Structure formats: C-alpha cells, structure tokens
Amino acid sequence: MTPDRSNAKVVTAGEEGTVLLLVILILTLISVLVLSWAQEWRTELKLASNYGEAHKCQRLAEAGIYYALGKLVTTKTAEMGGINAVPPQGDSGPAWRGDQQPHVLELPDGIAEVRIGDEGGKISLNYASEPLLYSFFTVLGLPEPQVRIMVDSIQDWRMKGTYPRLYGAKSAYYLSLDPPYVAKNGRFETVEELAWVRGFEASPLIPQLSRWLTVRPVESGINLNTAPLEVLLAMGFARDNALNIIAARQGMPLRNFQEIGQAGANPTLGQGARMSFRSSPFFTIASTGMVKKNSSRQTIRATVRLDPNQRVPWVIISWYSGFPG
C-alpha cells in the first residue's frame, strides 16, 4: 500500500536555514548567559577572597596592638623602677620604647608592622608656644607665608575670642566657607581636627602629623628619649646633635643633659618647651597587618594610657580601624 503523502509538510531550504539560525541564536544566548554567570561567580569568589584577606589583615593588626601593649608594660615597669609592679615572666627580648621605630612581627598568617609613639615625645598642639609651632612647621619644609597662617590659625582655633590674629582665622572666616562652620575656640580633641583649620585645608600632611603632634599636655617636658628627629630639630637642636641623641639613646635611655654633651647647655633650646628624659603614661600604637609583604593591608591606630600598678595595666582611650598606613 502506497503511503498517503497528501498531508506531509514539505520543508524548503529557506525554512531549514531559519531553523538553523534559531538554533544558533538560542545556543549563543545560552553561551552568553553561562559566561555572564561564570564572570559573576569569579567576581563573587574574588570578593570573598578579598574579604577573607582583609579580615586576616585586621586580625594581624589587632595582634600587633596587643603584643605592643605587653612590651610597653615591661618597658614602663622598668622605667618606673621601684614601683611594686610584677613584670611579665620570661625573656621578652629587647625593650620597645615609644620612639616610633618599626618592629616587624612574624605571625602564623602573615606579619604585623608596629610603631609606638610616646605622646610625651611630641609637641602638644594645645599647649605649644608660638615659636615652637613656627619652628616645627618650618622644619617640615613648608613655605614661610603658609607657616604664619598655620601657626596663627592654630592659636585662634584653640583660644576663645572673636578677633583673629594677623594671619589667623575666627568664625567670620569659617562661616564664609562651603559648608560653613564656626571656630572651635577650645582645645583640639584630635590632631586630625587640624583639617578644619585655616592653612590645613585638604593638606596631605594631616594623616602624618600625629607622628609629631599630640593633643595631650606634655607636663614634664618633651621626652628626649622618644622625640622624633623633626621634633628635636624644632626644639632647636642642630641636626648633628639631634642625630647623635637618637643614636645614643638606642643603647640605653639618656638620663640627664650631661649625657647629650654641649647640646644641652644651649639656653635657647626648647623654644618655650621643657625637656624631660622620662616617657608619659600615654602612647599611640600604629599596627599594620599584612598577609604578605606589599600586599593588601589594614592599619589600626590606638591611643592607650599605661599604669603598671593596676590589675589591668592599660586603658584604651581611642581605637581607629582602617587608619591610613
């Protein structure tokens, strides 16, 4: 029996081409979707990896902070001498002073680079004399007209009053800015507050100034055992004398002016600031955690107050995660 082909559909060459094009289009769309998903997966995996690495860096930085606290307590206890404090047991290695020298800790998941700054080795932003401030900003290599504006504006910001100094600024100046604000007319609470002061607007120096400046009162005088080079130069020490002081204190802390030679006999030294050979109770610790050297990093900056006589020998005053460093 011959099959009935009357209802059979005849597919032409044009229709075959259309079907083929549809198949190719569908396969192309599927490929694009798969590639898009793959790219999204890769991005998610990369973000997860970056988050994990940042988290490790944060933990490494925290470890550096607490290790530095232990070293500081040991050093402070030894400095205080006859006070009835029990130092940590065992060999704690070389003393860590507040001279901002870098200390690198090799830890299981990476490294932590730690710097400790004795607040007593810095210039007090709230109490420094005009000559000392002027000398300091000059040491940093800033032009004389800008230094005048900075120094006068710092004094106007931290003191009450309506009328500014010759190169300074009070509320009338700050209210003319966008956005407007008023002068503090009071003490600085952080060094970074300088970003609001005339002469410091958008200055790249702001994150670095806490290496040399403090808002704490330096009651006993600037500690010559921890003062950075820039602070020593601002106080009036000649560069050679300042470098000799830094070299001499690396072995044993200096105890008196006789140990720094003729430099200590100059009556003009200090620029209105007293000098000391003992650290303050306040320290700033900057700890940078890195999984690998020169990889991504996280920096924590903490300011602490030490008292080895207490059961918990430190109090954390401020803690900034994600600090530039």
Does 115 share its domain with 62?
A: yes
Shared domain for 117 and 151, answered yes or no, is no
159 occurs within a structural domain: yes
- The domain in which residue 160 lies consists of 141-203
C-alpha R_g of the chain? 31
Domain boundary pick from 152, 186, 203? 203
pLDDT of residue 178: 93
* Cα–Cα dist 66/201, whole Å: 34
What span, in angstroms and rounded, lies between the C-alpha atoms of 286 and 284? 7
Pull the structure tokens for residue 67: 């290790």
According to DSSP, the β-strands at 123-124 and 213-214 are: parallel
Confidence at residue 290, expressed as pLDDT on a 0 to 100 scale: 92
Pick from 132, 97, 145, 118: which is nearest to 250 by CA?
97
**Residues 101 and 146 occupy one common structural domain:** no
- Unique residue bearing structure tokens 């059979």: 8
Cβ within 8 Å of residue 137, ≥6 positions away: 146, 147, 150, 151
* pLDDT score of 325: 62
Averaged pLDDT score across all residues of the chain = 85
Return the bridge partners of 124, or none: 214
CATH assignment at residue 195: 1.10.40.60
Number of domains in the chain: 2
User: What's the predicted TM-score (pTM) here?
Assistant: 0.78
Q: CATH no. for residue 100?
A: 3.30.1300
Cβ neighbours for 206, distance < 8 A, ≥ 6 positions apart: 192, 194, 195, 200
Q: Please give the Cα distance from 87 to 146 (Å, whole number).
A: 48
pLDDT average per 10 residues of sequence, the chain (325 residues):
55 67 82 76 63 86 95 87 44 75 90 95 95 96 97 97 95 96 96 96 91 90 94 93 90 82 60 85 94 82 93 92 76
